[in-house]
Amino acid sequence: MVGMMLHIDGSKHRWFQDDRYYDLIVILDDATSEIYYAQLVEEESTLTVMTALKQVVETQGVFCSLYSDRGSHFFYTAKAGEPVDKTRLTQVGRALKELGIQMIPAYSPQARGRMERSYQTWQGRLPQELRKAGITTVEHANEFLRNRYIQEFNAKFRVKPAVPGTAFRKCGRRDLEQVFSIQTERVVDKDNTVAIKDCRWQIEKCRWRYSLADRTVTIHQHLNGTVSIRFGPHVVGRYAESGRPLEPPKGRGKDGAVEAVENQTQVSHRSHRPLENSQPRRVSHFPTALRLPFPLSQENQRSRG
């Protein structure tokens, strides 16, 4: 039955048959080997994995479980070689838990046989196809994958499921942009600002509250690079990737939904770095996670467990 379990992995390879290495992120169905997503990225990371998963949920629906390696963007492992700590969720783990998707860690390359065999096929065929098509850039390669090659690959290698039917269900959530974002909580300072690393954002007064000082807000780094700050159901700040304040969202009335913010300004911006740290480059498909995408307080860790 399709949608019961999906596999995800990244394969580092010289896809253009030169000295450039890229990660190919692939998501496939365990029941049929059908490819739902395949794109080249600079490196496999929290953001690139979230991008892949969000697209699958939007196009196919919510599935039951995800089988992956123990990369740091999937699982937290206190000590190399030990089992993952499922009580300490990564950003990917938190997003999938919100959607009711179970995460299953792999503990040996043998357990990942389906993906390993798939990547042997990809590494043998895709570089030749890109060469024959005269494609030498990631942008054109990903367009080729989306518009042509995934369909050709599925037509050749997809198999019938042992049990007919689908476990996919339509996603009823309209806030996937929030779900698939890097999130961290911060307490607002006395001057009504919040900061992460060397970025600090000013939260101006809202119609319903003059100041959020000493209140806990959630900072979201979205897949498109923008940042938003939320207090409960309210968006109290939106910023471009450069740190420039964006047009505040329009309110939806007195029912507690999102309302607009007045006069958003940024106090300082020395370097708008992402809120997550990409996983270090690797040779093996089976690294052990050592840290969360960004540090969380003990209270925050417990609340996400």
Residue 39 inside a domain? The answer is: yes
| Residue range 142-191, pLDDT digits in tens | 999 999 999 999 999 999 999 999 999 999 999 999 999 999 999 999 99
Quick check: is 146 in a domain?
A: yes
Contact residues for 88 (Cβ-Cβ < 8 A; gap 6+): 76, 292, 301, 304, 305
CATH of the domain at 78: 3.30.420.10
Cα separation, 35 vs 29, in Å, equals 7
Are 146 and 9 found together in one domain? yes
304 and 95 Cβ atoms separated by less than 8 Å:
no
Nearest 10 degrees: Cα torsion 158, 163, 164, 165:
-110
Task: Give the span between the Cα atoms of 62 and 169, in whole angstroms.
Answer: 5
Dump pLDDT digits (tens) for 93-133.
999 999 999 999 998 766 667 777 888 899 999 999 999 99
- Residues 7-48 pLDDT 10s: 999 999 999 999 999 999 999 999 999 999 999 999 999 999
Asked whether residue 301 is assigned to any structural domain, the reply reads no
Give domain status of residue 112, yes or no: yes
| 51 and 112 housed in the same domain | yes
Same domain, 17 and 84: yes
Using the predicted structure, report yes or no on whether residue 6 has a pLDDT greater than 80: yes
In a domain, 148, yes or no: yes
Give the Cα-Cα-Cα angle 219, 199, 191 (nearest 5 degrees): 80
Q: Are residues 11 and 153 in the same domain?
A: yes
- Asked if residue 96 and residue 142 are part of one domain, the reply reads yes
Q: pLDDT tens, 197-215?
A: 778 888 877 777 888 999 9
Q: Are 39 and 136 members of one domain?
A: yes
Q: How many domains does the chain have?
A: 2
DSSP 288: P
**Model-level pTM?**
0.80
20 and 137 together in one domain: yes
The yes-or-no verdict on residue 226 having pLDDT over 50 is: yes
Q: According to the model, what pLDDT value does residue 218 have?
A: 96
Residues sharing a CB contact under 8 Å with residue 279, sequence separation 6 or more, in sequence order:
43, 44, 45, 46, 71, 72, 73, 287
Rounded to whole angstroms, the Cα distance separating 102 from 93 reads 9
Start-to-end CA distance of the chain, whole Å, equals 30
> 269-274, long-range: CB within 8 Å, 24+ apart, which pairs?
269/199, 269/200, 269/242, 269/243, 270/198, 270/199, 271/198, 271/199, 272/199, 272/241, 272/242, 272/243, 273/197, 273/198, 273/199, 274/47, 274/182, 274/221
As given in the structure block, the two tokens for residue 144 are 């080729």
Question: Residue 14's domain spans which residues?
Answer: 5-157
In a domain, 170, yes or no: no
Query: Within this chain, do residues 111 and 199 fall inside the same structural domain, yes or no?
Result: no
Tens of pLDDT, residues 249-303: 555 444 444 444 444 444 444 334 445 544 444 433 333 332 333 443 334 444 4
Closest C-alpha among 204, 251, 246 to residue 225: 246
Classify residue 139: in a domain, yes or no: yes
The predicted-structure confidence for 45-101, as pLDDT tens digits, reads as follows 999 999 999 999 999 999 999 999 999 999 999 888 789 999 999 999 999 999 999
Q: Are residues 38 and 132 in the same domain?
A: yes
Shared domain for 18 and 102, answered yes or no, is: yes
- pLDDT given for residue 250 in this prediction: 56
Token pair listed for 38: 């395949």
If you ran DSSP here, which 8-state letter would residue 206 be given? Answer: B
Q: What was the pLDDT predicted at 4? A: 97
Whether 303 is covered by a domain: the verdict is: no
Q: Are residues 100 and 43 in the same domain?
A: yes
**Dihedral of CA 226/230/234/239: which sign?**
negative
Do 15 and 110 lie in a common domain? yes
